[in-house]
A and B are shown apart, each in its own frame.
Chain A
């Protein structure tokens, strides 16, 4: 079974750093892009960026470029999303998902269970 398992909920203070994880299993982790998606409370889905664990090629949404860092450790089949200085506005649920594509379509499947990040003083 293809599965993505994310790290647990986090509560942080503004200005603190954070790194959350997404571990893949049941497939060749290095052969598929992994994406990160933000969902702020009561809001919709926002694409943040993607990484190809095979060579760590990374692409960011213009909205998130410079705000977060996406990385991966292929030796342990794990992708990461990190912040160097959190803001209250980073409070959200964060999902990782495997990206698949054809010449005419892209889709995310499966999705991790989500990691809730709460930033509050």
Chain B
């Protein structure tokens, strides 16, 4: 299957840790990248590769992978982390795929 599956919505209390997951067969071969999108804004890359953060992304964001599941972890979630998060990878045919997105609410 060349799909990536994400939970539609996740919530976290302010300052706590949250894990957002992405499942798909392609993740057994390729790492996911992760994007944050706030309302009315373009997506922003937050994690790529095994666990790399672009310049300017806080170190409370981290990535991991196990089997067919990739995870984005926010350690000590802040109010400004409330956003939609998308995972992204490729399949064996070279097609690029996005997960359906997870809406993160910070309580």
Q: Which 8 A-B pairs have the closest CB atoms?
A: A107-B33, A107-B48, A105-B31, A109-B45, A47-B96, A44-B101, A45-B98, A111-B42
Binding site for A on B (CB under 8 A): 29-33, 35, 37, 42-45, 48-50, 54, 84, 86, 88-90, 94-101
Given contacts A45-B86, A114-B42, contact A105 B49 (CB under 8 A): yes
Decide yes or no whether A28 CB sits under 8 A from chain B.
no
Which applies to chain A's interface (DSSP): helix, strand, loop or mixed?
strand
- Chain A residue nearest in CB terms to B95: A61
**Interface pairs (25), CB distance under 8 Å:** A37-B98, A44-B101, A45-B35, A45-B88, A45-B98, A45-B101, A47-B98, A50-B96, A59-B94, A61-B96, A62-B95, A104-B31, A104-B50, A105-B32, A105-B33, A105-B48, A106-B90, A107-B33, A107-B88, A108-B35, A110-B45, A111-B43, A111-B44, A111-B45, A114-B42
Chain A contact patch, size range: 20 to 34
Binding site for B on A (CB under 8 A): 35, 37, 44-47, 50, 59, 61-62, 95, 97, 99-100, 102, 104-114
